[in-house]
Amino acid sequence: MELKGKRALVTGASKGLGAAVARRLAEAGADVAVHYRGDRAGAEETARAVVAAGRQALLIPADLARPKEAEELVARVADAWGGLDLLVNNAGVAPVRPWDQVTPAEWAEVLAANLSGPFYVMRAALPLLRAGREPAVVNVGSVVSFNGGAFGPAYAAAKAGLVGLTRSAAREWGPLGIRVNCVAPGPIESPLARALPAPVLEAMKAQTPLRRLGTFAEAAEVICWLLSPAAAFVTGQTVVVDGGRVMS
């Protein structure tokens, strides 16, 4: 994948999948704005990896559930680089809460972080993307959009909403030359997966044809491909990266 000279913003890039995507984009030649909310140390580590790959890194904190902070995030990228070409909406939260334990406040918090946040960032970024070079957006969803998952109703609802948001943007932004896709990872080897009860985790593996969890690097590779010119005729799609679990 060739992304030399592209300007990218990755939200939630202090750890996990966001950090893996930021590193992979830098390896492909993109400068990367590394967004984080609370984990500055993790974000700094990601930024160092971007610089080590020979690219520029911006380090920007923001609570994306707040529209004003989402706007300020995008404005800082514009001030530094004069524009934006690639956007990855990865930031979110995933508390493990069964139906009878979800409070209205938790419901609102999860939807704000996982659905409203990407909308606020996309809305703020649209003018920059319209002027960008082969602009593309990838929203990070989840297989819970299809199977309900084990993280509770708020997370499943938010990720399902993100699929609809992706399709809406792809339809309206396509004539502007902006591609918008979604990647829906299945269970990934991560602290989030390890927080699940052991029987649930083992059942996930058993229900996956490849009989294992995925990795951040595998999901990041698909995200970066969707952002690249190699996927120039792909938009409005949700690409599932789950080892075949959904079809089971």
Which residue type sits at 23? Answer: R
pLDDT on residue 150: 64
Give dist(CA 193, CA 213) in Å, integer. Answer: 9
Query: Among 122, 31, 115, which residue's Cα sits nearest to residue 70?
Result: 122
Contacts of 232 (CB under 8 A, 6+ apart): 134, 179
- Of residues 38, 39, 42, the one with CA closest to residue 23: 42
Q: Angle between the 16-27 and 216-227 helix axes, to the nearest 10 degrees?
A: 50
Active site residues: 155
What is the assigned CATH class of domain 7-241? alpha beta
pLDDT reported for residue 86: 98
DSSP strand pairing (86-89 vs 57-61): unpaired
Q: What pLDDT does residue 148 have?
A: 79
pTM: 0.93
pLDDT in tens, the chain (248 residues): 789 999 999 999 999 999 999 999 999 999 999 999 999 999 999 999 999 999 999 999 999 999 999 999 999 999 999 999 999 999 998 877 788 888 999 999 999 999 999 999 999 999 999 999 999 999 999 998 888 766 788 999 999 999 999 999 999 999 999 999 999 998 888 877 777 788 888 888 898 999 999 999 999 999 999 999 999 999 999 999 999 988 75
Q: What's the confidence (pLDDT) of residue 1?
A: 74
Q: What pLDDT was estimated at residue 83? A: 97
Burial track 70-105 (b if 16+ CB lie within 10 A, e otherwise): bbebbebbbeebebbbbbbbbbbbbeebeeeebeee
Tokens representing 206 are: 């058993």
The helix-helix angle for 117-130 and 67-81 (nearest 10°) equals 30
What crossing angle do the helices spanning 117-130 and 153-173 adopt, rounded to 10°?
20
